[in-house]
């Protein structure tokens, strides 16, 4: 249906100031959007209080012009751009749903709560459509898909220029310059800001613009310090700029995040080779020497003529001198609280580590890498997963499933399921209560909080299920998961099955840590649905 055939209803509200007027766009699927609407090609663009929305005109049922604008809630921000999260601006509509649910939970029934519910419905529609914030617009997945096609075309264009055979040095230099321009353009069109900054850093490094590349990679590290590829890029740019000790520091930091990477081991070795012999007693060199001694370098195998960027579990391989083709469109950082159930294993919220490229456990202010354990079908549990941290040695919580379920005071914690919502931990003093032969926790998680272990005096009693469903009222139900439901999972966590030995690392003593609960974060690569 074309916009010319769309029914337009004009309501007369002359007594209201024009600044308080807004159009109401009605969609065929029942959704509505309040804001200033205008036709733009085959789209209807609506400037809402929560950002710009581009709608397919064929999906618009009607537009009511000049309706009174909804009054923003006084108790919470109305627009994503105004939301100040501790780590970054909100880029996920799911996070906005959870924030609005939390706001709603503290409101009595009335006009204000009705307004918040309307906002929740809009954000849910954004989440349903997998929209992500790109600049100031909430973009559909198709934006990433189209951009990827253009990105690959520009890389192929650059490769073709470099492959051209020429007898003249001047022509070769001209082609190289044109290829660098194509790579820079490719990097600049990536929709996600963080990924765009990383790819731009790579393009600058390839063009020999070391200081600018270092700045780009440093900005990426500041936003997402647990991505080893960001530190790898900065180390490479520093090394090319003849700064071996600074490169050494970044290479070591990257290797601590991705300790099984032969490319990072090689990068560290290259940094050490470029260091002047007179400076081998500098602290960076001494630390690098000790770290390298932990690897069987005789087994080191890297791919000649390729750069493997440590941006995923298997890395992103690409030809030397080229940009990588990302395996995902953007990075999402999830988090939860894990509980130690064996010397090297934790039980965590399954959603927190699902499809994770990297998983880390926080001890004091340091982060240690972990991997998601594969478990047998008979032991698996939908809500709980196992992660293995070989560099840490835990004192496991007592998890005796044969003992009677204790009733009484215990501890639980609320942790936001997305880092965008904040990294704080909310202590919950709870009571385990018996209810007709089953058990429940008196405490309630807030919308957007991940599954929490329930612990008493170093004993694991069970879990409170996470409230992380943006399409369910309040984020989901508060359910208590008893130990009996994860008995087989605990047994598997205590076994050696599913634990892979590193092909490069020598045996080393893990760090022994106290406590039974630990913050975990995972780096998740989100790919648009194609």
Rg (CA), the chain: 27
Residue with tokens 């300790």: 259
On whether both 39 and 95 belong to a single domain, the answer is no
Number of domains forming the structure of the chain: 4
On whether both 299 and 239 belong to a single domain, the answer is yes
Q: Which of 89, 114, 139 is the last residue of a domain?
A: 139
Q: Which CATH number covers residue 255?
A: 1.25.40
On whether both 65 and 103 belong to a single domain, the answer is no
* Residue positions counted in the chain: 530
Residue 175 lies in a domain: no
Boundaries of domain holding 98: 78-139
Counts for the chain of helices (H) and strands (E), in that order: 12, 24
On whether both 355 and 484 belong to a single domain, the answer is yes
> Where in 3-49 does DSSP place strands (E)?
7-10, 21-27, 32-40, 43-48
Q: Which of 70, 89, 112 is the last residue of a domain?
A: 70
CB 346 within 8 Å of CB 340: yes
Q: Which of 70, 102, 119 is the last residue of a domain?
A: 70
Q: Which CATH number covers residue 375?
A: 2.40.10.120
b (16+ CB within 10 A) / e for 4-27:
eebeeeeeeeeeeeeeeebbbbbb
User: In the chain, what is the greatest distance between 2 CA atoms, to the nearest angstrom?
Assistant: 87
DSSP letters along 216-227, please? Answer: HHHHHHHH-TT-
Report yes or no on whether pTM surpasses 0.75. yes
On whether both 104 and 121 belong to a single domain, the answer is yes
pLDDT of residue 298: 83
CA distance 44 to 59: 9
On whether both 308 and 373 belong to a single domain, the answer is no
On whether both 410 and 495 belong to a single domain, the answer is yes
CA distance 527 to 392: 31
CB atoms within 10 A of CB 286: 11
On whether both 272 and 366 belong to a single domain, the answer is no
End-to-end CA distance of the chain: 25
Residue with tokens 């007594």: 15
On whether both 83 and 64 belong to a single domain, the answer is no
Q: Which CATH number covers residue 55?
A: 2.30.30.100
Please choose, from the candidates 317, 373, 338, the residue with its C-alpha nearest in 3D space to the C-alpha of residue 518: 338
Residue 243 lies in a domain: yes
**Residue 493 has which token pair?**
């966590």
On whether both 372 and 287 belong to a single domain, the answer is no
Strands 137-139 and 330-340 come out as unpaired
CB 449 within 8 Å of CB 466: yes
Please choose, from the candidates 504, 443, 39, the residue with its C-alpha nearest in 3D space to the C-alpha of residue 300: 504
Bridge partners, 53 (sequence order): 46
Enter the DSSP assignment of 416: B
Please choose, from the candidates 214, 246, 235, the residue with its C-alpha nearest in 3D space to the C-alpha of residue 309: 235
On whether both 376 and 403 belong to a single domain, the answer is yes
pLDDT by 10s per residue, the chain, length 530: 444 443 333 323 332 333 345 777 755 444 567 788 888 877 888 888 667 888 887 666 557 666 444 333 322 222 333 233 333 478 999 999 999 999 999 888 888 899 999 999 999 999 999 999 988 889 999 999 999 999 999 999 999 999 988 777 777 889 999 999 999 999 999 999 999 999 999 999 999 999 999 999 999 999 999 999 999 999 999 999 999 999 999 999 999 999 999 999 999 999 999 999 888 899 999 999 999 999 998 888 877 889 999 999 999 999 999 999 999 999 999 999 999 999 999 999 999 999 999 999 999 999 999 999 988 888 889 999 999 999 999 999 998 877 777 788 999 999 999 999 998 899 988 888 887 778 888 888 999 999 999 999 889 999 999 999 999 999 998 899 999 999 999 999 988 766 777 888 887 889 999 999 999 999 999 998 65
Whole-number Cα distances in Å, 274 to 170, 176, 271: 31, 27, 5
CA 131 to chain centre: 15
Enter the DSSP assignment of 343: S
Please choose, from the candidates 527, 408, 488, the residue with its C-alpha nearest in 3D space to the C-alpha of residue 456: 408
On whether both 47 and 85 belong to a single domain, the answer is no
10 Å CB burial of residue 501 (0-12, 13-18, 19+) is exposed
């Amino acid at each position: 249906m074309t916009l010319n055939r769309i029914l337009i209803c004009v309501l007369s509200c002359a007594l209201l100031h024009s600044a308080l007027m807004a159009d109401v766009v009605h969609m065929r699927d029942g959704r509505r959007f309040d804001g200033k609407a205008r036709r733009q090609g085959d789209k209807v663009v609506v400037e809402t209080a929560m950002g710009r929305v581009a709608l397919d005109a064929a999906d618009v049922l009607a537009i009511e012009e000049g309706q009174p604008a909804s009054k923003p809630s006084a108790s919470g921000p109305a627009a994503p751009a105004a939301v100040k999260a501790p780590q970054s601006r909100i880029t996920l509509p799911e996070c906005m749903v959870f924030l609005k649910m939390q706001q709603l939970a503290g409101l009595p029934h009335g006009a204000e709560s009705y307004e918040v519910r309307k906002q929740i419905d809009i954000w849910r529609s954004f989440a349903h459509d997998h929209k992500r914030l790109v600049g100031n617009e909430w973009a559909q997945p198709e934006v990433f898909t189209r951009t990827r096609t253009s990105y690959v075309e520009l890389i192929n264009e650059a490769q073709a220029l470099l492959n051209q055979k020429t007898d003249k040095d001047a022509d070769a230099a001209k082609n190289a310059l044109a290829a660098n321009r194509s790579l820079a353009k490719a990097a600049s069109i990536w929709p996600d800001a963080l990924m765009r900054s990383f790819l731009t850093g790579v393009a600058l490094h390839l063009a020999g613009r070391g200081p600018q590349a270092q700045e780009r990679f440093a900005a990426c590290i500041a936003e997402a310090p647990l991505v080893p590829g960001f530190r790898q890029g900065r180390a490479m740019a520093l090394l090319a700029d003849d700064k071996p000790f600074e490169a050494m520091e970044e290479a070591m930091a990257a290797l601590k995040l991705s300790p099984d990477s032969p490319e990072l081991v090689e990068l560290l070795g290259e940094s050490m080779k470029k260091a002047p012999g007179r400076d081998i007693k500098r602290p960076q060199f001494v630390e690098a020497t000790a770290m390298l001694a932990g690897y069987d370098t005789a087994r080191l195998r890297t791919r000649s003529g390729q750069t493997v960027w440590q941006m995923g579990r298997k890395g992103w391989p690409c030809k030397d001198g080229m940009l990588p083709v990302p395996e995902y469109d953007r990075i999402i950082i999830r988090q939860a609280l894990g509980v130690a159930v064996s010397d090297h294993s934790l039980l965590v919220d399954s959603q927190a580590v699902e499809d994770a490229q990297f998983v880390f456990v926080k001890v004091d202010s340091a982060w240690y890498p972990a991997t998601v354990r594969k478990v047998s079908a008979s032991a698996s549990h939908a809500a709980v997963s196992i992660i293995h941290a070989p560099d840490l040695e835990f004192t496991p919580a007592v998890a005796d499933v044969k003992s009677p379920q204790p009733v009484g005071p215990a501890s639980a914690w609320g942790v936001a399921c997305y880092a965008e919502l904040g990294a704080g931990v909310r202590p919950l003093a709870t009571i385990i209560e018996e209810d007709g032969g089953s058990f429940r926790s008196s405490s309630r998680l807030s919308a957007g909080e991940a599954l929490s272990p329930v612990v008493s005096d170093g004993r694991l009693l069970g879990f409170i299920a996470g409230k992380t469903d943006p399409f369910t009222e309040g984020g989901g139900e508060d359910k208590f998961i008893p130990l009996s439901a994860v008995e087989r999972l605990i047994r598997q966590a205590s076994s050696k099955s599913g634990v892979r030995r590193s092909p490069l690392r020598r045996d080393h003593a893990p760090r022994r840590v106290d406590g039974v609960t630990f913050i975990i974060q995972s780096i998740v690569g989100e790919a648009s649905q194609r």
